[in-house]
Amino acid sequence: MKNLVFICLLFLSFSCKNFETKSSLVQNSGEALGTTYSIQYEGNQDYHDDLKKVFDLVNQSMSTYLPSSVISKINSGDSTVIVDAHFETVFLLSKKIWMETNGVFDPTVGPLVNAYGFGPKGKLKGIDSIEVDSIKQFVGMEKVLLTKSKSIKKQDSRTFIDFNAIAKGYTIDLLGELLDSNDIQNYLIELGGELLAKGINTNSGKDWIVGIDDPTQTEERTLIKKIKLKDVAMATSGNYRKTRIDPDTGAHYVHTINPKTGWPKISNVLSVSVLAETCAEADAYATAFMAMELEESKSFLSSNENVEAYIIYVDENNVMQEWFTEGFQKLIVE
C-alpha cells in the first residue's frame, strides 16, 4: 500500500477539479492514474492541458488497464512493439534497481500478487508451494530484455510486466519537468501520496512542510511526523492495512510479495518513507524496503548516500519503533 500512501494501479481517468490562486501560489488538482493529485506552484497560469498530456502519455505507455497501451501489447505477446522513450526509461531504471536490490524490486511479480488475491481480480485463494514454484518460472526481470531495436524480448511468453510500483513516481518527475520547462522555481507535486518538492512555499517563505501518516491509525487520519522538503522527492510504502493472518501461526502476511521466494513477506516493518533525487527512485526503493528484512534495508541505506529513509516497525514485544537515516532525521519538524 502506498499513500502517505496507497499503491494505486494505473487507470484511465483524468479530470481537473479546480484551478485556484491562493496568495502567491496556484493550486491545480484533480484525478489521474486511478488516484488524486494536487499541484501547488508559483505563478498565475493554468497548465491543465499540459498536465493531461503527461497523464495520457503515461497511460498510453504503461497502463495495464488500457488494451492499446505499449505495456498491454507486450504483455499480450506482441513482440513487434517498439517501446516509447518513457517505457524505455522506466524499464532501464527498474532493471537498475532490481540489480541493486538483488532482485527484491521486480516489476514482473504481478502474477504472484494476483495469485494471493492482493490484485484487482479477487479474494485470497488457496495456493501451495507447487503453484508458487510454477508461477516463479516466469517471474524475474532477468527473463525480459530490451533489444537494440527497442522491442521487449521475453524468455517466457507468460511473463507479465507491471510498472505499478514506479510509474506513479515517474509521472511526478515528468510533471516536475513540465513546470521546470515553464521556469517555475517553486512547486509541490503530490500524486497518490507521492511527492516532489522544489524551491520553497512562497506563501510562507519557508521550505515545504508535508506529513507522514501514522501506520497505527484506524479510521481517523493522523500524522506521525512532519518533515520539510526542498528539491527532493518522497515516497511512502506501507503494509499496515493489506494483510492476511495465518490462522494457525498468527503470522502476518503482507501484500508485498518477495519475488525471490514467491511468498508474501512476513514482516515487522509497518511503513517506509524514502527520499531520493527523483520520485521514480523513491517510489521503487520504498517498495523494495518493504520486501527486505529490516537489517538488510539498513545495510543498503548505509552504503547509498543518495537515498534517505524513515522506517516504522514493531519490535519483538510488538511495540512500535522508528529508525531514521541521518539525512532524513535532519528534516523532521519538531
Binding residues: 165, 283, 287
* Separation of alpha carbons 115 and 130, rounded Å: 12
Terminal alpha carbon distance of the chain: 27
Feature table: binding site for Mg(2+): 165, 283, 287
For 1, the grid coordinates are 500500500
| Residue 186 and residue 290 in contact, taking contact as beta carbons nearer than 8 Å | no
Q: How is residue 201 annotated by DSSP?
A: B
Cα dihedral 286/59/79/258 (nearest 10): 20
Cα Rg for the chain, rounded, in angstroms?
20
Point out which residues pair with 253 in neighbouring strands: 244, 266
| DSSP letters for 222-267 | -EEEEEEESSEEEEEEE-SSSEEE-TTT-PEEEEEEETTTTEEEE-
In the chain, % helix, strand, coil (3-state, to 5) comes to 30, 30, 40
Angle at Cα 172 formed by Cα 74 and Cα 324, nearest 5°? 110
Helices (H) and strands (E) in the chain, counts: 9, 16
C-alpha to C-alpha distances, 315 to 215, 246, 257, 265, nearest whole angstrom: 15, 19, 21, 16
* Separation of alpha carbons 84 and 57, rounded Å: 10
> Helix or strand or coil: residue 19?
strand
